[in-house]
Chains A and B, each alone.
Chain A
Amino acid sequence: MTMNYTLPDEKGYFGKFGGKFVPEILIPALEELENAYREITRDPGFEEEYRKLLEEYVGRPTKLTFANRLTEHFGRARIYLKREDLCHTGAHKINNATGQLLLAKKMGKSRIIAETGAGQHGVATATACAKFGFECVIYMGEEDIRRQKLNVDRMRLLGAEVRPVSSGSRTLKDATNEAIRDWVTNVEDTFYIIGSVVGPHPYPMITRNFQRVIGDETRSQLMKVEGKLPDYLVACIGGGSNAIGLFYPFIHDEEVTLIGIEAAGEGVETEKHAATITKGTRGVLHGSMSYLLHTEEGQIQLPHSVSAGLDYPGVGPEHAHLHDIKRVEYYAVTDSDAMRSVKLLSETEGIIPAIETAHAVAYLETLMPRTEEDEVVVLNCSGRGDKDMKTISEWF
């Protein structure tokens, strides 16, 4: 079977998922955004400016590192790490933040807002705003401010205003609500840089396209060292931007198994998890139809994950679709397995991963025994763990 994958469609749908479930006020803003985006994709000047920024400022292409001791540890397929942790600011988020900022600049917007969970998207956005001299407001839940203090300090040092959000679970979901409310209020001069492949169309498409550089690089780098495509790609999923960035360029290569790892928190059989695809049902949150964790009454449930970046009750609509068409396999990993894998990767490879990333690492325990020695696994090392040192030292 050959796939012909050209999503999203004109209405912004990936199969049954996606769309624009937003207040009327945002409709003109989304149309303006979509038109501007279509324009820049036809503009070689934009592409050149973005590539140059990725190269000179973000530090791309990031390395593809052969994880020799991790490979020995499992004794099966060869494991490579796509080193998004080596991006400027320490995670893949900056690929998208710089891309969307350039778009905001083209559109003549003067003020940038963003939501952040782990703080990585907030830091990336604040960084890009500093680099280009934009006013920057970051919405962040109070609970996340507590557990990601280092990133809060970084954002402030970069000149951004961090606005604490005290509603709901005081995490990423609530920060996103507040950012949308700000956008609704200041829609004329404000550009909302969404940090993941969530939100109303065209955001999931735009963010994916700014993140696909991860997969594009992986493809050519692996060709060079292995002379073949990977057999497995593994990435963690909160909203799903690092995963879609890695997967998307391989979507037509059906011999490549794509695996997304959600946060099982204290276990998917408990109430305390963030495993949206594994346990959720269809619904609308933050402007798009996707899988959701919600009650029988349609109230959004409070997710739980030790990792602030995965602590989100929704997931990008494209992932919901890729799950439905069975192109990507989705599994969930608990807090404690993820934390053990922080240690494993640190001790075997000298790389301290973000706790988000460690969820993907933890799945290797399940995946590796089913692989063969002549196979290749690429794991997206989406971020570094410096920001998590407090949580990590409290855990062990």
Chain B
Amino acid sequence: MPEEIVQPSRVRELFRNKKDSDKVVSLFITAGYPELDATVDLILGFEKNGAEMIELGIPFSDPLADGPTVQYASNIAIENGITLEKIFHMIREIRKKSQIPLVLMGYINPILRYGVEKFCRDAAGAGADGLIIPDLPPEESALITDSVHKNHLDMVYLVAPNTTDERMQQIDQLSSGFVYCVSVTGVTGARSGDEIEASVNRFIHRVHKNITRNPKMIGFGIRSFEDAQKISEYTDGFIVGSALIGTIRKSYPEENWQDSVFDFVRSLSSGPSN
């Protein structure tokens, strides 16, 4: 029998307790990048510096929804010898010190290879709260739905600017925790702030209208506090990934490289001047 997780979802709690005007700051980091030993401390540091939720990336050799930055980080992590076992261990270490909502984000193949049921059980057992699988659209969700429910994980699906209204509503029904709103068509990290602003407004309004059951988090291409302010008006928060990894890439392995990374994280929740 799989161990029952009695705790309510940390993700759902986070959104339930926040004020409408507050924007949840969520960070994506690739597990095992830039070093295997760095991940736990980075995540604890992110939390101290204003992050309220973590998407922990499971590295994959062929991340076809990701741009060059996340590809690079994934390759380094794989070279560093990352495994799912090690990722679960990292989560257990984080849980000794923190209750920050943590969602695993990874492609379906490593999960299939590990075994879907075993993966969900071990992820939940380690203290992960949910899953985002960018190459598992609702059409293929039957593969994982039972295991997700059995282990009380949140399952986050994505909507994109070309997702129809009707489909957005279906995805809202299928999702739990939150819905991940991909702000532009493209891979992660691909677009500049201006481009986002120009294309995103109509999408945000459709999201606002059609996704009513779940909180909405917006991501893909957000690089700064200003970017986030511009596009998160009708959402519950925003996700920063490539820009964070880009900041790590710039400073690592200088001495105290984490400091400039944490500075960047702080600037995301309060603006650079604070």
Q: In this assembly, does B157 line the interface, its C-beta being within 8 Å of a C-beta of chain A?
A: yes
User: From residue 90 to 124 of chain B, which have CB atoms closer than 8 A to chain A?
Assistant: 107-114
Q: In this assembly, does B163 line the interface, its C-beta being within 8 Å of a C-beta of chain A?
A: yes
CB distance from B220 to the nearest CB of A (A): 10
B112 touches A181 (CB 8 A): no
A298 touches B185 (CB 8 A): no
User: From residue 282 to 303 of chain A, which have CB atoms closer than 8 A to chain B?
Assistant: 282-287, 292, 294, 296-300
A22 touches B162 (CB 8 A): no
B163 touches A184 (CB 8 A): no
List, in ascending order, chain A residues with CB within 8 A of B71's CB.
Answer: 167
List, in ascending order, chain B residues with CB within 8 A of A25's CB.
Answer: 160-162, 182, 185-186
B162 touches A187 (CB 8 A): yes
Q: In this assembly, does A11 line the interface, its C-beta being within 8 Å of a C-beta of chain B?
A: yes
Interface residues in chain B, defined as those with a beta carbon under 8 Å from any beta carbon in chain A = 60-65, 67, 71, 78, 83-84, 107-114, 134-137, 139-140, 157-164, 167, 171, 182, 185-187, 190
- Out of B113, B159, B185, B186, which one reaches A294, CB within 8 Å? B113
Q: How large is the interface on A (under 10, 10 to 19, 20 to 34, 35 or more residues)?
A: 35 or more
List, in ascending order, chain B residues with CB within 8 A of A188's CB.
Answer: 162, 185
List, in ascending order, chain B residues with CB within 8 A of A20's CB.
Answer: 137, 139-140
**Dominant secondary structure at the B interface:** loop
List, in ascending order, chain B residues with CB within 8 A of A21's CB.
Answer: 108, 135-137, 140
B164 touches A24 (CB 8 A): no
Name 22 A/B residue pairs within 8 A (Cβ), A-sorted. A11-B139, A19-B139, A19-B140, A20-B137, A23-B135, A24-B158, A24-B163, A24-B171, A25-B182, A27-B163, A184-B65, A184-B185, A185-B187, A188-B185, A284-B109, A285-B62, A286-B64, A292-B109, A296-B113, A298-B60, A298-B109, A298-B111
CA distance A284 to B110 in the complex (A): 9
Q: A24-B158, A297-B84 are in contact. Are A187 and B109 (CB under 8 A)?
A: no
The 8 closest A-B pairs by CB, nearest first: A298-B113, A298-B110, A185-B186, A299-B61, A25-B160, A23-B65, A24-B158, A298-B109
A298 touches B65 (CB 8 A): no
- Not counting A28-B164, A184-B187, A187-B162, a sample of 19 additional A-B residue pairs whose C-beta atoms are within 8 angstroms of each other reads A11-B139, A19-B140, A21-B108, A22-B137, A23-B64, A23-B65, A23-B158, A24-B134, A24-B163, A25-B162, A25-B182, A27-B163, A177-B63, A181-B65, A283-B109, A284-B112, A284-B135, A298-B110, A298-B114
- Out of A27, A296, A299, A300, which one reaches B137, CB within 8 Å? A27
List, in ascending order, chain A residues with CB within 8 A of B84's CB.
Answer: 297
- Out of A22, A28, A299, A300, which one reaches B135, CB within 8 Å? A22
List, in ascending order, chain A residues with CB within 8 A of B108's CB.
Answer: 21, 284
Interface residues in chain A, defined as those with a beta carbon under 8 Å from any beta carbon in chain B = 11, 19-25, 27-29, 167-168, 173-174, 177, 180-181, 184-188, 281-287, 292, 294, 296-300
A23 touches B134 (CB 8 A): yes
CB distance from B73 to the nearest CB of A (A): 13
List, in ascending order, chain B residues with CB within 8 A of A11's CB.
Answer: 139
CA distance A328 to B6 in the complex (A): 50
Looking across the interface, which residue of chain A has its beta carbon closest to that of B161? A25
CA distance A181 to B187 in the complex (A): 6
List, in ascending order, chain A residues with CB within 8 A of B159's CB.
Answer: 24
CA distance A184 to B67 in the complex (A): 11
List, in ascending order, chain B residues with CB within 8 A of A29's CB.
Answer: 162
List, in ascending order, chain A residues with CB within 8 A of B139's CB.
Answer: 11, 19-20, 27
Q: A294-B109, A298-B110 are in contact. Are A168 and B137 (CB under 8 A)?
A: no
List, in ascending order, chain B residues with CB within 8 A of A173's CB.
Answer: 62
List, in ascending order, chain B residues with CB within 8 A of A283's CB.
Answer: 109, 112-113
CB distance from B161 to the nearest CB of A (A): 8
List, in ascending order, chain B residues with CB within 8 A of A299's CB.
Answer: 60-61, 78, 110
List, in ascending order, chain A residues with CB within 8 A of B164's CB.
Answer: 28
B62 touches A177 (CB 8 A): yes
CA distance A292 to B60 in the complex (A): 14
CA distance A177 to B135 in the complex (A): 13
CA distance A285 to B163 in the complex (A): 23
CA distance A366 to B164 in the complex (A): 54
Among B67, B111, B158, B186, max chain A CB count under 10 A is at: B186
- Out of B63, B67, B109, B157, which one reaches A24, CB within 8 Å? B157
B185 touches A187 (CB 8 A): yes
A297 touches B64 (CB 8 A): no
A285 touches B109 (CB 8 A): yes
Among B65, B109, B140, max chain A CB count under 10 A is at: B109
CA distance A43 to B15 in the complex (A): 52
CB distance from B262 to the nearest CB of A (A): 30
CA distance A286 to B107 in the complex (A): 11
CA distance A299 to B158 in the complex (A): 23
CA distance A294 to B112 in the complex (A): 11
